[in-house]
Structure 1
């Protein structure tokens, strides 16, 4: 279905006049998140991630960065629930990325303190966030397909049941994969006409344009504005990141890495994490992605890392999951995107 076949977004979103705040009888006082909440929110995330047994930890720098995005309207699109002592026990935030041009998205993220679960707080938070998400989509004015979505680690089974009760259905499946670096690294040279070079700030805009081109045919992907492209880099590892240039010095492939040291104690090993990997369409099928991955593995190992890690959409149209398996990566964790399409 094309955008011209759709009813107006204001009709499809069916936004309520008011998003109902959770009932005070649940024991929490509610207000919007502010940037000053970052330290307490980081502690809440640590408690929830520990209880949910996920293989990562979100640190303060990441939380501060999440709350600092200029396009986010925390005053209207977020909530934090405080107990009588003022400690955050639940939170939720709705992000509508400004670069959306194919599907307008309202991306919901939140959680409830493990000690406060089982009281109906999660249901109340989801009800508010979905009502507000519909308002955000209606107000976007973008006459496009629309989606409310959230991501959950697959071990969070209570969360999956909550999503089902809210009318959300599994829409996409993701795998976290890793490869030991003490095994022989793949022999994967760059194809003729391309050279792999270290990432540099001067070439970063070219990498953004290459990313938008490379992911134009990927389900759920939307173009990133310059602001979006450089946001979310608190864990960015520039010395572990690589670019592929053609003979005209145009970026035709890229591999951006992250250094998540807080995760290493949780998983029991050190790792270089491949955040983004892409190759523009005209250079696909020539081994460039393999060359970038092999070069990154060598960089990670030279810096003392024990594993190379990455995440993948298991239905990626370029066959990325199969490629990673061929290069020795194995799945160690998984997650699901739940969605309501409007």
Structure 2
């Protein structure tokens, strides 16, 4: 379904291809609104605005205050230059935008663009103006990364978000990659799992965290669009992390830095604020990876079974995950075989540079 199965080709230097403007013009004035950068002090107002946007658009999730705060934090982010808000005279925040380049990107430089407009102020051109600003700032960030590689401006949209998809399409973005949300009823017993000799499943522990990060970077190196994560980025990307529902598989016969190698890992998240929206309780598989030398040895199924057992033990009704529909490891088929069924989906829109 993807319109492109390869990374964009770098035909000329990124500084040329990105066509970044020297300055990013503030969107055109809209009656009663003042455009300004966001700050940490806006976290409460931003959370309220995101709530109004999500209540109107009805995505299958809700963004928690901790997740919103995470948008504003990170040493690689410059809020004064990479964010924008539209504020009423009384201080009510009516629109927001974020542009961000991941610090670990190497072989493809990605500028993530994210924004929203209060339902009470839609239809006034605010979204178009905000997207033009995001596009321009994203191009600047690609150049400012100092790296010369294929690049993209990108955002993720729900499959049924027709208005947003029209907006981004009008801005030159095209659908590039599709993702499926899948659910598994925990009333059905977990799949039978048998690990190959020398492998053992262990609960997640703090001492494993960086080894799991490195295993993740390696496991996803052959996944479309994936890039390495720095230590800071890795630890900042999981406000709902549930260590009690997370596991790793170690290989005692393959030592790395004097310790058993991490063959695979599964990290879970607890999104309780999404349970009323979905209409059921669930544990979320946020990261699941198996390094190439250990694929085909029962690692993924053992990890999934352990997570399902942990979710069930805590009284949850379902397991949920998201998967790239063209995942090169065949993950989509694996999840279907162990009982996961599709429920909804999202799409990545991008401009390839």
Answering whether residue 20 of structure 2 is matched by residue 19 of structure 1, we say: no
2:334 to 323, 333, 342: 323
2:302 to 286, 291, 297: 291
Answering whether residue 14 of structure 2 is matched by residue 9 of structure 1, we say: yes
Please give the residue correspondences for 1:1-342 in structure 2 after superposition, counting only pairs within 5 Å.
6-247=11-252, 248=255, 249-342=260-353
C-alpha distance in structure 1 between counterparts of 2:81 and 2:308, whole Å = 43
The unaligned stretches of length 5 or more in structure 2 are 1-5
Displacement of 1:88? 0.7
* Secondary structure of residue in 2 paired with 1:210: helix
Displacement of 1:192? 2.1
Structure 1 contact 92–108 (Cα < 8 Å) conserved: yes
Moved over 6 A (4+): 1-4
Structure 1 contact 95–108 (Cα < 8 Å) conserved: yes
CA RMSD of aligned residues (A): 1.4
Shift in alpha-carbon separation, 1:165–1:237, aligned structure 2, 3 A: same
Structure 1 contact 208–224 (Cα < 8 Å) conserved: yes
Residues 100-122 of structure 1, C-alpha deviations (whole Å, 9 max, x = no match): 01101110011111111111111
Single out whichever of 55-64 and 236-245 deviates more from structure 2. 55-64
C-alpha distance in structure 2 between counterparts of 1:77 and 1:94, whole Å = 5
C-alpha distance in structure 1 between counterparts of 2:8 and 2:240, whole Å = 37
* Secondary structure of residue in 2 paired with 1:291: helix
Matched pairs, number: 342
The residue aligned with 2:3 is none
Shift in alpha-carbon separation, 1:97–1:220, aligned structure 2, 3 A: same
C-alpha distance in structure 2 between counterparts of 1:173 and 1:2, whole Å = 15
Structure 1 contact 26–120 (Cα < 8 Å) conserved: no
What TM-score, normalized by structure 2, do the two folds share? 0.94
